[in-house]
Amino acid sequence: MMTNKEKITLITSFLDELFPNVGCELHYQKDYELVIAVMLSAQTTDKSVNQVTDVLFKKYQTLDELDNAPLEDIENIIKSIGLYQNKAKNLKGIVHKLIHVFNYVVPADKDLLMTLPGVGNKTAGVIRAEIFKIPEFPVDTHVERIAKRLSLASPNDTPLEVEMKLKKKFPKERWIKSHHQFIHFGRYFCKAQKPNCQSCKIKNICKNA
């Protein structure tokens, strides 16, 4: 019977082999741009978000310009992604709050981040890990799927429960890297519909293989 430590070592070794240098695939140059991009990425792909934010951030280059931008124009720019009307409102709300409550500075505190419209636990975790390099293990659909396939979490666990279990199992200094590796593994290798089981070195510990 494989110990938990041996299991984590096997997983991290394979992910290090597949994805030695991975990071956030969302395009951004300023801290607030990442906040907006991560919020927009809910239930859609990073590629789709990059297509709209490349236009959005080129047209509106500051928080003040975004604050003054007509809601309808923002909707038109981001309408190719899901839930665009609600996301446009959240975007305006984020911008307004960053200006008037946080004095143009993205806060590092998780509770403060989660007061921004459309920013939940996962989004706040991504922001903290990416901008501030604070150890976090945010759980999106890819991370959740991989964790459950590898029996690192139970089938009925919520994303928050999955996150807590992953944080207990993986060394803190690996949280950010492992988060990105799980995303890439789920996005490009262990896909939801057609996982690459035949080439997988950890299939022996996978419930789906």
* 125 and 144 both lie in a single domain: no
* 118 and 147 both lie in a single domain: no
Q: What is the CATH number of the domain that holds 41?
A: 1.10.340.30
Instruction: Tell whether 26 is covered by a domain.
Output: no
Active site residue 122: yes
**pLDDT tens-digit series, residues 35-73:** 999 999 999 999 999 999 999 999 999 999 999 999 999
Q: What is the CATH number of the domain that holds 155?
A: 1.10.1670.10
* 51 and 115 both lie in a single domain: yes
Q: How far apart are CA 59 and CA 51, in angstroms?
A: 13
Instruction: Tell whether 181 is covered by a domain.
Output: yes
So what's the pLDDT on residue 2?
83
**pLDDT tens-digit series, residues 154-204:** 999 999 999 999 999 999 999 999 999 999 999 999 999 999 999 999 999
So what's the pLDDT on residue 155?
95
Listed in sequence order, the residues at least 6 apart from 69 whose beta carbon sits closer than 8 Å to its beta carbon are 59, 60, 92
Look at residue 147 and give its three-state secondary structure.
helix
So what's the pLDDT on residue 107?
98
* 37 and 11 both lie in a single domain: no
The residue assigned the tokens 């396939």 is: 149
Catalytic residue, candidates 30, 64, 110, 122: 122
pTM, 2 dp: 0.93
Residue that is last in its domain, among 111, 132, 153: 132
* 165 and 108 both lie in a single domain: no
**pLDDT surpasses 80 at 105:** yes
- Total domains in the chain come to 2
Catalytic residue, candidates 140, 148, 165, 168: 140
So what's the pLDDT on residue 24?
95
* 124 and 183 both lie in a single domain: no
Active site residue 109: no
| Average pLDDT for the chain | 96
Query: What single-letter DSSP state applies at residue 190?
Result: S
Q: Is residue 44 a contact partner of residue 110, using CB atoms and an 8 Å limit?
A: no
* 126 and 142 both lie in a single domain: no
**Structural domain for 66, as ranges:** 31-132
Indicate the burial class of 179 (C-beta count within 10 angstroms; 0-12, 13-18, 19 or more): buried
Residue that is last in its domain, among 132, 158, 173: 132
